[in-house]
Amino acid sequence: MSSNKPIEGSVEGSGAEQRKGFSRRTFIEGIGLGAGAVGSVVVTDGAQADHHVPVGPDPVSITLNINGKNHDLKVEPRVTLIDALRNQLDYTGAKKVCDRATCGACTVMLDGLPAYACTTFAIEAQGRKIETIEGISAGDKMHPVQQYFVEHDAQQCGFCTPGFVMAGKAIVDKNPRPSMSEVEDGLCGNICRCGTYVGVRQAVYDAAGKGSA
Amino acid sequence: MATKYDWPAVEDRSLIGKRHDRVDGPEKARGDAKYSYDRNLSGMLFARLVTSPVPHGRIIGIDTSRAEKVKGYKGHVNILNPGDEIQWAGKEVLAIAADTEEHARDAAHAVAVNIEKLDHWVKEEDVKKAGEANRVKPAKDDAKGPDLAAAWEGAEVTHEGYYGLGVITHCCLEPHGQVVDWTGDDIKVYASTQAVARIPADLAKGLSRDESIGRVEAGQVEVITPYMGGGFGSKFNIDTWGIACAQLSKKTGKPVKLMLDRNEEVTVAGSRPSDYGNVKVGAKKDGTIVAYESETWSTGGIAGRGSPPLPYIFDNDEKLAQKIRHLNVSTNIGPARAWRAPNHPQAAVLTMCPLEDLAAKLDMDPVEFFKKNADLTARPEVYRYEIDKCAEMIDWKNKWRKRGDSGSGPVKRGLGMSLHTWGGRPHDSTCEVRIEPDGGVSVSMASQDLGVGTYTTLSVVAAETLGLDIPDIRINIGNSKLPISGASGGSTTVGGTTASTRRATVNALEELKGVVAESLGVEAGDLMAKDHKIFAKSDSSKSLSWADACKKLGNRTITGQGKQPDRDGGKLNDSGVGGVQMADVSVDTETGIVTINKIAAVQDVGLVVCLKQSESQVYGALIQGVAWALYEESIYDQTSGKMLNADMEFYKLSGAGDIGELEVHMVQNKYDDRGVIGIGEPPAISPGAAISNAVANAIGVRVPTLPLTPDRILAALADA
């Protein structure tokens, strides 16, 4: 059950600048994703709606910038970012759980804003800075959100944890002094089944203002 | 009689019962923990299931000719065959493998299964209609205690009501499934399981039915599960998809990954049975309960389901007249699997809710009412203590008002409570501890950590026994080739594994002390291990550091074995605990929305091993409880026979903002001498009943069935 307040972890993001690129057309085409669309996919970027080029269904070559490193790969246009990350590049920190933008286990950062990788096409992520859970610690030094997750035992089975850590990082990146209710709002795009929220919300609250790894 | 294996006395404990960070916490927080779903093996294929869209039918034909032409197709195996009957929608028919996940999905879509439809039934709440559909069978008809008719005669106040709660599903975040890598004779299985040691025999048995494969021995199978993403009682078996995955690996000569998709996970991989029923309770004017009578019914799928343990906790056979009748409704829904504390959450609702209604009718404070009747339970002293403690935590004295006496505004506030019990006896376990000449210590067994903290509790026990710190211990679990330990279910793991570990470490240490005694010229019995040292109690100048003591081993490694059970192994564990929970809620009578202000929980589990993770287990149980009390229910459609909300947007779980304030108190230093008792199940029992009682207290009427959704709240208010 989520609250009615704005969701920070959604694909649309919460900033006004994000909404600019969100056309009616990309929205309608995005819907096909959940139904396991087969065949070609058209990607529009709003500004050039008249010049879109169909690609697929055969694999296309793309380059993804993940945690600062470029990866070249071939994907069918229908492949989601979560599947490309996990199946082709072995970035398995982000998890595939609901596979339709509800639970947040697949959360990654796209150009600094949290996004559901299960409802983003891999080809849509070209030219954007993708940051995954594997990229937020510095060697052995964990990001403050991760450190406080351990301290407050904000994890049980741990399967939702990477998504929550990324959502938590997005909160503290944006707001160095969030209230507890702002923390809860920021986390409401993620779901945990074991019931770790007591530790999760405290961890994110305590990590705010503590910088990065 | 005291033995060398007994837990150290409270003043001698440096680690047991204290707060420790989860040993595997950093790996999980960094996203480095490798789950079954995360395994990417070289050349690995992806498999998908083809499932039945029909809730009840018979397979006439399976046509894979189109699927075999799909790009990337590598092979398929039938799980069912023509002639086989299907008893629920989502039932696995076939598994198909391809080079990529997308191609496996394409191939699965291209399979045509011809099914003859048969009559189905998926609804049980209306038991009369289910009976007309010939779906109801008696499951229990039992009377206990004093004469019932006389008890009703003597009862001065009685209450009769209808109560219930629907089917819920496990919805594990890591779905059921596995990667199987069959190379030569060796079968490696990366399975998301609660039963690492049990899977080899389960898989070998399943595979041996495949004539094209022939005999497979359990010893060929190695299960590897260092991490698993949630089970809650649903992941004990290899299941049809595990056997099919292994068959595909054998057939294709490649590793194969087959994980259920979300719809499959929610539809077929486990559900908790419902319970509905009419309950009548009676008491003397002073509040003494004298009679409990119920007629209940439930479904757990096609096999139906037996009776919950009614009346719950207040079940003294000598003092309380009891009559229980239970009906079993057979439905075409995904079959039930164990769900944290099987049958107890339902029993708590069907007992604590009518009893709180009776207390309201008696004009009694529930705290006084339940305390007065604690003698009807098996643990009067435990419950009385816990009720007082919990009442203090939730400020019951100041916050509780009589039912319906919650002011004239639209938002009403109320308090409610519930009691629970669970066994939590230890499972069998074998532990091997090694002490190496370089000072390294490892603890090994074929157990698993479901997220409950097995890595940490075993580290605590070994480090405490050897006078070391938690990081000094290496834990090897999650592999079936290690010494056998039980499946993790029924809160049996912590009791079983800590006992075998304690015994193994005591035995290993004894051997090390023998070596040290010779070197220091003291009696081995005079030696003690503490603070990374082994020293003589009689003369602490006679001492060796842990590292130096281990160097004395030369090139020999010490192996210590420990078992549970062990008749001469001391009193390390027990079963049978009590717990009390109280909820403070607000109900908006205009919108029907329930908000949790606070839930307080007091729990006894004998000796607490790691306080932080024990508390986490209780927090988790409360948060799951908020979900099934307020939001969560599997909704089936009689027309199509399908589950309508087999996803995560309409199958509602609680979120971080829904849980209010949670306060947990673990009872420590009171029942420690009982030893370790499991904690997974007990706190998961009471939340629904406590929240339902708080809502009734707030709005003055009982909302009969859980989850307490806004429509049900408003309907109950309209009926009042």
Pick from A10, A107, A198 the residue to mutate for testing the B interface (most B CBs within 10 Å): A198
In a domain, B304, yes or no: no
Decide: B442 and B476 in contact? Cβ < 8 Å.
yes
Tokens of B387: 């009720």
The answer, for A169 touching chain B at a CB cutoff of 8 Å, is no
The answer, for B471 touching chain A at a CB cutoff of 8 Å, is no
Q: Is B651 exposed, middle or buried (0-12, 13-18, 19+ CB in 10 A)?
A: buried
CB atoms within 10 A of CB A209: 11
Q: Which runs of consecutive H residues, i.e. helices, occur in B364-491? A: 366-372, 380-394, 396-399, 454-466
Which chain A residue has its CA at the smallest distance from B620's CA? A195
In a domain, B436, yes or no: yes
Question: Mind listing the pLDDT tens digit for each residue in B151-178?
Answer: 999 999 999 999 999 999 999 999 999 9
Alpha carbon distance B360, B8 (integer Å): 47
Percent of chain B with pLDDT over 70: 100
Alpha carbon distance B698, B703 (integer Å): 11
CA B446 and chain centroid, separation:
19
Q: Which ipTM was obtained for this model?
A: 0.97
Contacts of B87 (CB under 8 A, 6+ apart): B55, B56, B301, B302, B332
Which chain B residue has its CA at the smallest distance from A105's CA? B173
B89 and B205 share one domain: yes
Residue A198: list chain B partners with CB under 8 A.
619, 623, 659, 662
Decide: A76 and A59 in contact? Cβ < 8 Å.
yes
B306 band by pLDDT with thresholds 50, 70 and 90: confident
Q: Which of B234, B268, B302 is the last residue of a domain?
A: B268
CATH number at residue B69: 3.90.1170.50
For residue B647, pLDDT over 70 is answered with yes
In a domain, B701, yes or no: yes
Decide: B118 and B56 in contact? Cβ < 8 Å.
yes
Q: Which of B564, B592, B620 is the last residue of a domain?
A: B564
Which of A98, A192, A198 comes nearest B262 by C-beta?
A98
Question: Mind listing the pLDDT tens digit for each residue in B603-641?
Answer: 999 999 999 999 999 999 999 999 999 999 999 999 999
Question: Mind listing the pLDDT tens digit for each residue in B456-492?
Answer: 999 999 999 999 999 999 999 999 999 999 999 999 9
Alpha carbon distance B235, B193 (integer Å): 5
Alpha carbon distance B88, B53 (integer Å): 9
CA distances from B41 to A17, B190, B285 (A): 41, 11, 70
B420 and B430 share one domain: no
User: How does DSSP classify residue A118?
Assistant: G
Q: Regarding the domain with residue range A16-44+54-132, which homologous superfamily does it belong to in the CATH classification?
A: Beta-grasp domain (3.10.20.30)
8 Å CB contact of A155 and B29: yes
Q: Which runs of consecutive H residues, i.e. helices, occur in B400-449? A: none
The answer, for B657 touching chain A at a CB cutoff of 8 Å, is yes
Decide: A144 and A212 in contact? Cβ < 8 Å.
yes
The answer, for A38 touching chain B at a CB cutoff of 8 Å, is yes
Contacts of B207 (CB under 8 A, 6+ apart): B213, B216, B243, B246, B247
Q: What is the β-pairing status of strands B321-329 and B289-298? A: parallel
Domain containing B458: what range? 10-29+426-564
The one-letter code for the residue type at A122 is A
Tokens of B639: 């027309």
Q: Identify the CA nearest to B32 among candidates A95, A72, A205.
A: A95
- Sheet of B57-63, strand order: B85-86, B57-63, B112-117
Residue A190: list chain B partners with CB under 8 A.
655-656
Alpha carbon distance A161, A92 (integer Å): 12
In a domain, B132, yes or no: no
Least confident of A18-32, A120-134, B375-389, B407-421: A18-32
Domain coordinates of chain A in residue numbers?
A: 16-44+54-132, 144-207
Looking at CATH, the fold of the domain delimited by A144-207 is given as DNA polymerase; domain 1 (1.10.150)
CATH number at residue B358: 3.30.365.10
Structure confidence at residue A50 (pLDDT): 56
Per-residue pLDDT of chain A (213 residues; tens, 9 = 90+): 333 333 333 333 333 333 333 333 443 343 334 333 344 555 544 444 556 778 888 999 999 999 999 999 999 999 999 999 999 999 999 999 999 999 999 999 999 999 999 999 999 999 999 999 999 999 999 999 999 999 999 999 999 999 999 999 999 999 999 999 999 999 999 999 999 999 999 999 999 999 888
Residue A56 phi, psi dihedral angles, 5° rounding: 85, 180
In a domain, B543, yes or no: yes
Using alpha carbons only, how large is chain B's radius of gyration in Å?
Answer: 28
B419 and B432 share one domain: no
The one-letter code for the residue type at B218 is A
What mean pLDDT is predicted for residues B349-360?
Answer: 98
Which of A79, A190, A198 comes nearest B662 by C-beta?
A198
Pick from A153, A169, A196 the residue to mutate for testing the B interface (most B CBs within 10 Å): A153
B642 and B578 share one domain: yes
The one-letter code for the residue type at B656 is A
Q: Which of B221, B239, B268 is the last residue of a domain?
A: B268
The answer, for B29 touching chain A at a CB cutoff of 8 Å, is yes
Which chain A residue has its CA at the smallest distance from B20's CA? A151
Alpha carbon distance B176, B231 (integer Å): 8
B474 and B619 share one domain: no
Residue A147: list chain B partners with CB under 8 A.
29
Q: Is it true that A16-44+54-132 and A144-207 share their CATH fold?
A: no
SS (H, E, C) B61-101: EEECHHHHCCCCEEEEEECCCCCCEECCCCCEEEEEEECCH
Question: Mind listing the pLDDT tens digit for each residue in A108-155?
Answer: 999 999 999 999 999 999 999 999 999 999 999 999 999 999 999 999
The answer, for B593 touching chain A at a CB cutoff of 8 Å, is no
Q: What is the β-pairing status of strands B705-706 and B157-165? A: parallel
Contacts of B439 (CB under 8 A, 6+ apart): B472, B546, B547, B550, B551
Which of A38, A90, A195 comes nearest B620 by C-beta?
A195
Percent of chain B with pLDDT over 90: 98
Tokens of B623: 């948060």
The one-letter code for the residue type at A7 is I
Q: How many domains does chain B have?
A: 3
Tokens of B125: 């709440």
